[in-house]
Amino acid sequence: IFKFDQFHRIMEDFSSVADFLIIYIEEAHATDGWAFANNIDIKQHRTLQDRMEAARLLMDRKPLCPIVVDTMDNLATRKYAALPERFYILLEGHILYKGGPGPWSYNPEEVRAVLETLSR
């Protein structure tokens, strides 16, 4: 997750207000596909096991929330237009906030502002 440190601080600050979840989806910049130079070496996921192994790299960053992996038919990616990454805030099954697609069009501070409003 781009801007993971900011997201981590939001999880710390709002853990009493919100439940957080990371859904690890298909790899947007796989090294055997369209990749950035100096990117982490993650190949396209061919199996659920591949995706789970890639998610373990994120687990090494010790997020303060559970990580689950998307299905191999990329259900979460498609339902939430999540590729390459995106923030959502849900309340009672309704989307309260849908951030722009990451990494450049989303803003963790928008998430912070929504959670601050909800915590009042």
How far apart CA 88 and CA 82 sit, in angstroms, is: 9
pLDDT in tens, 54-107: 888 888 889 999 999 999 999 998 998 887 789 999 999 999 999 998 777 888
Q: pTM of the predicted model, to two decimals?
A: 0.81
Angle at 95 between CA 79 and CA 53, to 5 degrees: 45
Angle at 62 between CA 61 and CA 68, to 5 degrees: 95
Query: What domains are defined for the chain?
Result: 4-118 (3.40.30.10)
Are the C-beta atoms of 3 and 103 separated by less than 8 Å? yes
